[in-house]
Amino acid sequence: MKIKKLLMTVLVLLSVQMCGPEPKLDYNVTKSESYKISEKKMKKNSLEVKKGFEADNDKFRNKAKEVTKKFIEDMMAKEFQNKNETFATQAMKQMVVNMIEKGIEYQKSKIEEIRFFNDEEVQITQKVKVFDNSKGNIAKLQNEYELLKLVAQKLQYKDIQDMTSQMEKMDKKEAFSKFMNGISGVIEDEFKKEENYTEMTTTVNMNKVNNTWHIKNLDEQIKAIEMIFSNLSNSM
């Protein structure tokens, strides 16, 4: 009897694992009227769509960060190619690169709807929160005095004079590193504030290729970004 009971328990567990509970989703799943598919299967398939979307989205974001960083570095190099790169120049370059990286890193999105048209085509509707650099203290960073004041506060100095005095006693490399950590901290604080974001709704088309869902024309979109920044760089 014990063996029979154990066997029944195992079979029940296997059946639960194979069938699985209906997934609980935090987005809507819809379909075109002409597409014939059960709601349960559609919801299950939507998880694969979401997985593919997130993977491609990460690929796009990483490439955008790489291309943007290279553009900023090339732009700054051209700007100061005939000058010695001063502390202020290095700080400005690092600040701009840091802002771009944080902007991409902290961009938030949430899938609102996955709409199926057939077995190989879907459209994702998402809410995207994009950083608005006209809000908060980011606009102040363009003013040298305001920037220094915020950095001094972040590094817990009494004021700008105190920070300058203390850093003059440090090795140049140590002072620069500490100052840049301060800038990075100030920028990150701003990117963490919800009120500094603007929300918009966007749609993304996806296709199923070799049993994996991918953003439609992703490679072309990446090439387009590379071309835009290449043209910008050549025009400056």
How far apart CA 225 and CA 95 sit, in angstroms, is: 22
> Which pLDDT score, from 0 to 100, does residue 12 have?
39
In CATH, what is the architecture of 28-86+105-134+194-236?
Roll (3.10)
Long-range contacts from 32-39, C-beta under 8 angstroms, 24+ separation: 32/115, 32/116, 32/117, 32/118, 35/116, 35/117, 35/118, 37/116
> Which pLDDT score, from 0 to 100, does residue 172 have?
81
> Which pLDDT score, from 0 to 100, does residue 4 have?
41
> Which pLDDT score, from 0 to 100, does residue 7 have?
36
Burial label for 8, CB within 10 Å (0-12, 13-18, 19+), is exposed
Burial label for 190, CB within 10 Å (0-12, 13-18, 19+), is buried
> Which pLDDT score, from 0 to 100, does residue 148 have?
87
Q: Which residue positions in the chain have pLDDT lower than 50?
A: 1-20
DSSP tag of 141: G
How far apart CA 192 and CA 209 sit, in angstroms, is: 37
Q: Cβ distance 28 to 49 under 8 Å?
A: no
Instruction: Enter the tokens of residue 176.
Output: 């620069």
Q: Cβ distance 102 to 72 under 8 Å?
A: no
> Which pLDDT score, from 0 to 100, does residue 80 have?
56
Q: Domains of the chain: which residue ranges?
A: 28-86+105-134+194-236, 137-192
Residue 75, CA distances (Å) to 34, 88, 104, 230 in order: 52, 16, 19, 11
Q: What is the mean pLDDT of the chain?
A: 79
